[in-house]
Structure 1
Amino acid sequence: MTIKHIVMWQLHEQAAGADRATNMQRLKDKLLACADLVPGTLRFEVATAAEAQAKGLEATYDVVLYSEFESKAALDAYQNHPEHVAIKDFVGAVRSARQCMDYES
């Protein structure tokens, strides 16, 4: 059993003293810093709309996180890790919408 954790964020035009494009990259960098926080993380990818659109691909949200964990316990450990919790204030300040789905496969 693998747990997939997918989150998408739409960002404000201006927030936290920066424009949307800057905050897309900031959020991506902050998320990627969380990639190896806990054992049981199998896959961890972050992409931005700017990257997708530069390649002619569709993007209706600004940032997406696709991650896989070996168990619900590993996902819970990631979500409660202090370094992950620490980025939540920034995310809350820059996002206008969020979508999330976790599922087993």
Structure 2
Amino acid sequence: MIKHIVFWKLKEHAEGGDRAANALKMKQLLDSCAKLLPGMLTFEVALAQPGLEASYDVVLYSEFADKATLDAYQDHPDHIAIKPFIVAVREARQCMDYAA
């Protein structure tokens, strides 16, 4: 199994929206990718919650059956289609993939 975890810090304003609006839109876009392929075992998108410590705005926690499934997700047209928005609104990104 491969775990794929990504954190995004968003710009204050981008693509006509503020940080909060863009975080919600980003979550909706990512959630639309949750069941793209067999072998996607877990796919959870969360937003930073007021009152709880967070240095990033959006997190994706996902588990894939194997590296081939993760690679297929990365190359899936629906995933590729949401990337321009994410790139436009993000200030920073951190990612880690690891075998579990």
1:67 paired to 2:89: no
Correspondences of 1:72-83 after superposition (within 5 Å): 72-83=67-78
1:103 paired to 2:98: yes
Distance (whole Å) between structure 2 residues aligned to residue 77 and residue 35 of structure 1? 13
Count of residues in correspondence between the two structures: 100
Unaligned runs of 5+ in 2: none
Correspondences of 1:44-59 after superposition (within 5 Å): 44-49=43-48, 52-53=49-50, 56-59=51-54
Distance (whole Å) between structure 2 residues aligned to residue 38 and residue 78 of structure 1? 7
Unaligned runs of 5+ in 1: none
Letter in 1 for 2:11: H
Shift >6 Å, 4+ stretches: none
Distance (whole Å) between structure 2 residues aligned to residue 104 and residue 58 of structure 1? 27
1:9 paired to 2:8: yes
1:7-29 Cα deviation digits (max 9, x unpaired): 00000000000000000000000
Q: Tell me the TM-score normalized by structure 2.
A: 0.97
Q: What RMSD in Å do the two structures reach over aligned CA positions?
A: 0.7
Correspondences of 1:24-39 after superposition (within 5 Å): 24-39=23-38
Distance (whole Å) between structure 1 residues aligned to residue 59 and residue 28 of structure 2? 12
Post-superposition offset of 1:57 = 2.1
- Report % sequence identity: 64
Distance (whole Å) between structure 2 residues aligned to residue 19 and residue 7 of structure 1? 21
Q: Tell me the TM-score normalized by structure 1.
A: 0.93
Letter in 2 for 1:40: G
Distance (whole Å) between structure 2 residues aligned to residue 48 and residue 104 of structure 1? 25
Distance (whole Å) between structure 1 residues aligned to residue 54 and residue 66 of structure 2? 29
